[in-house]
Structure 1
C-alpha cells in the first residue's frame, strides 16, 4: 500500500497552464503535456502553438502554454494574403507577420483591436505619391485614399455641378496618378441672325415663255438665337444653340415665270411707215432714238450681260420672235437701222408695251 501511494504521488503533478494568456494552476495525473491538455479539455489544431510540445514530459511545477491560431486576411495596397498567427491583437499580428505599414498608412481596423479565434480581415493602404491640378495650380500629395473621390474629399476639393474630374471619381488611386479637376461654367448668350428669304416661282400665262417677272421682292427676316456656352477653366470650349425666337418673318420673293407661247415670227418685214433701204423700216426713228436714250444711253451696240441687248434692249427670244435673225443673231450685233426695223415689227404687234421706257416716246 505504501508503494502504491508513493507511485500515485509521483504521477500527481502541479502545473501552470496558460491558454491565450489565461493562466490556470492544476493537478494532473499524467506524464506528458498531451496528458495535461486532455485532462484540462484543451483541443489544439495544426495552426495552434503548444509549448512544450504535446509529447514532451511534464514535471511538478511545469508551465504549459497554448496559443490558438487565428486566420488573418490582410489586403495591402490591393493585394490580399491569408495568414495564420497566434497574436491576440492586430498590432502583434502585423509585427509577427512582417506586414509593413508606412507612415501615414490607413488601416481599416484599429491596431489595438483584439483577435478572436474567429480571425479577422482588414486592409492596409499605404500612402501613394500623386499630383493634382485644380484651379490652375498643380501640386504633389502623399495620400492613402483608395479612390479619386476620397482623395478630393481628403484635400477639401469641392466639385461644382458641371465640373469634370480626370480620371473619373471612382478610379483607384495608384502610385504616380495624375488627377485634374476642370472647372466648368455654362453661360447663356444670345445673337441676332438673318433669316434669308426664299424664292418662289409661279407660272404666269400672261408672260411669254423664257421671260420672268418679279411679283414680290424678297425681304430677309431676323431671329434671336439663344446659345449655351461651355467654359472650361476660363476658356471657351464650345457652344450650342438651345432656342430660336423669330422676331421678323422673312418675305418670300415671288417670281412669275412665263408660260405663254412666243408669237410666230413674221415672214416679211411689217411696214409701219416709210422705209429706207431693202427690208429696212425707219418709221418712228426719232421715237426710237428717244426710247434708246432712256433704255441704253443711246448705245446701239451695248451688251452688259444682263440678258438684254442693243439700243432698245431686246432680249434674245423677243428679238428672234419678230424676225431679228434677218439681220443678226442678237440685237447688239445689228445696226441702228436694223434694230429700228425689228422694233417696228414688234410695235405693230404689241405697241410700246414691251419697253420699260415707253414714256420717253
Structure 2
C-alpha cells in the first residue's frame, strides 16, 4: 500500500514507462480544491441541479481515547480507504454533468463568432484626411453619426448615406465651400468641394488659359469659401480710321480693350458703345472720330397783338395805338462731323438780344350805319359785279386794290376803315363806298362808275 494519502488513476492497463516527473504524473494527478491544504482528504460535493442530492452519510463514531493507539490508527485507515474508493468512483466521467457545460461553451463560442463578424475595418477620409477604424455600424449614415461627422446639403458623401458597409470599404466626405465668383462681369455664388482655386474653376468649366484671376490658382479654399473675379480671354474687333483690328483680351472694359489695340481717342472722339461697358466675346466696337465747330445765328422773335374793344368806333374799325416790333435772339449751334459725315446742327445756347414789343389795337364795337344820305338810291350791286365779280375778298393781280369796290389801302383807311378792305365785311365795304361817292362821286371807278345809275 502506497504511503501517499491519494491514489492515482491510469486509464491504460499494463506496465507504464517511467514518468519524467518521478512518482508525480500531471495527467492522472487529482485536482485539489481551492482553499484545501495539501494532504487533507477532499470529497467532491458538486451535483447538477437536475440530480437529487445524495443522503448525508452518518457521522463516524468518535474515537475512544481509551482505545489503544493501534486501534485508532487502524480505524482511521479503514475510513481513509472508504474515502479513496468514493473519490475513485467520482473520477469516472458523468455525461449527465458534462452536457450543460458543453451547451454553455457552445453558446459562448457562437456569440463570439457573431461579435467578431459585425466588426468592420473601414477607411474614413474626411476632407482629405484619411484614417482607418473599426466599427460595428451597418451603413454609411450610422458610421458618420458614430464618428460625429456632420454633413450638409452642399457636402458630398461617397458612397451615399444609407449604403451598407462591409469590411475593407472606404467612405469619403467632401465638404462644400461657397465661392462668390464674378465671371466675365456676371456675379453668382456657387458651391464646390475643390480645395484650390484652380480645381474649383476646372469644376465650373472655366477656361483659365489667358484669363485674368484676382487670386492665385494655387490659393487654398477654406470652409468659409472666398470671392474671386475671373475674366476669360475674349475676341474683340475694333473699327478705327477705316481699319479693323481684332485682338484677344481679358480687359475689364471696352475702353481698356481699345487701348490694348493701340488706338488713341482724341478731343471729342468716342465709341459706338459705352467705354465702361464689359467687352463681350465676338463684339465689334467702332471708334467715332468727331470734328466740330460752332455757328451763331440771329432769329426774330414774333410780337403779340393785343386788341381791346372801343365803343366809340364803328364795328369793323381798328385803330393801332402802338405798332408791334419783333424781338431778336442769338442762337449758338454745334456743328459736328462723325468720321467725315456732317450731322444735323444741334442748338447748344440761346441768348435774347431784344425783347419783342406788342402791338396795341382798338377795335370798334359801335354798330355801323347802313345808310348814307345822297347815295342809298344807287345800284351798288351792279358796281360790285363790275369791279370784283361780287366777291368781298377779291384782290387785283398787282395786290394794290381789294374788296367789292377795289379800294386801295390808303383810301380805305381815310374813310375810317382798318386793315385791308378785302378783310372787312360786305356791309362795311358798301358803307365806305357810299361815303366815298358822297365825297368824290363816281370818279374813283372810271370804268364801272356808270353802273351806279343803271
Q: TM-score with structure 1 length normalisation?
A: 0.47
Greater strand fraction, Structure 1 or Structure 2: 1
Which structure has more relative contact order (CA 8 Å, sep 6+)? It is: 1
Q: TM-score with structure 2 length normalisation?
A: 0.39
